[in-house]
Chain A
C-alpha cells in the first residue's frame, strides 16, 4: 500500500502567488514525522519543513508552511509569494516507528513538479 500519496504530478503558479502542494499519508503508528523536500534539477534534496505527529501547531519556515490535518492524514505544503527559484520537484516524506538507537526509513511520495511563471 502506498504510504505517501502526492496526486499532483505537476503544478504551475504565477510569481508572487501562493501555491499548495498536496500530500496524504497512511500509517497506524501514533508517533511519526512528516517532511517536505525540494529537489532542483541539480539533484540535491533540500530539507524544507518538518511536522511531528504530536505537534499541535502547523509548522512554518519562512515562506513555507505545512497545513497538517491529522484526522484527514494530510500534510500539504503551502509556499507563499512564489519565486522563480522555487521551480523544482517537491517530495513529501514520512518517517514512522522510530525506535531509540535505530534509524527508521524515510519514505517518499512520487513528487510534484512545480513551475513558477513570470
Chain B
C-alpha cells in the first residue's frame, strides 16, 4: 500500500478564514513533507518533518503553520492567506531508514483564496 491521503481535495477560503489541510499515511514512513505547486510550475518544498519534528522550513510565511500530531498524520493550518497563495498543496511521505529514498505523494488539495 503506497497511499497518501489528503483532505479536502478542493478548498475555497476567504482571506480572513482559518482552515486546515490534512494528510495521512499508513506506510510507516517517518518523514513527511508539504509542497506547494503553482500552475505550470514544479512543486516547491515548504516543510519537512522527520520523526514528527520539524526538520526543514523553507522560509515559509507564518500564515502557514504545519503540525505533525503523530507519525501518520500531517496538518497544514492556514490563516489570513492571500490570493497568491492559491495553488495545489501536495503532501508526501518517505522512509527515513534508507538514504535518498523515494517519496510518495497524495493527490493534493487545490486551494483557492478569494
CB distance from A45 to the nearest CB of B (A): 4
- Could you tell me if B100 and A52 are in contact, using CB atoms closer than 8 angstroms? yes
- Could you tell me if A44 and B105 are in contact, using CB atoms closer than 8 angstroms? yes
- Could you tell me if A45 and B45 are in contact, using CB atoms closer than 8 angstroms? no
B: residues with CB less than 8 A from A are 2, 31, 33, 37, 41-43, 45, 48-51, 55-56, 88, 90, 92, 94, 96, 99-108, 110
Contacts of A95 in B (CB 8 A): 100-101
- Could you tell me if A100 and B108 are in contact, using CB atoms closer than 8 angstroms? no
Question: Which of B42, B56, B104, B108 touches A111 (beta carbons < 8 Å)?
Answer: B42
Contacts of A44 in B (CB 8 A): 105-108
Q: For residue A36, which residue of chain B has the nearest CB? A: B102
- Could you tell me if A43 and B88 are in contact, using CB atoms closer than 8 angstroms? yes
- Could you tell me if B102 and A45 are in contact, using CB atoms closer than 8 angstroms? no
- Could you tell me if A102 and B100 are in contact, using CB atoms closer than 8 angstroms? no
CB distance from B88 to the nearest CB of A (A): 5
Which range holds the interface residue count of chain A?
20 to 34
Give A18 to B41 CA distance when docked, in angstroms: 26
- Could you tell me if A50 and B105 are in contact, using CB atoms closer than 8 angstroms? no
Give A44 to B104 CA distance when docked, in angstroms: 10
Q: For residue B6, which residue of chain A has the nearest CB? A: A44
A-B pairs with lowest CB-CB distance, top 4: A33-B100, A103-B31, A45-B105, A108-B42
- Could you tell me if B99 and A98 are in contact, using CB atoms closer than 8 angstroms? yes
- Could you tell me if A106 and B45 are in contact, using CB atoms closer than 8 angstroms? yes
Q: For residue B31, which residue of chain A has the nearest CB? A: A103
- Could you tell me if B42 and A33 are in contact, using CB atoms closer than 8 angstroms? no
Give A23 to B114 CA distance when docked, in angstroms: 37
A47 contacts the other chain (Cβ, under 8 Å)? yes
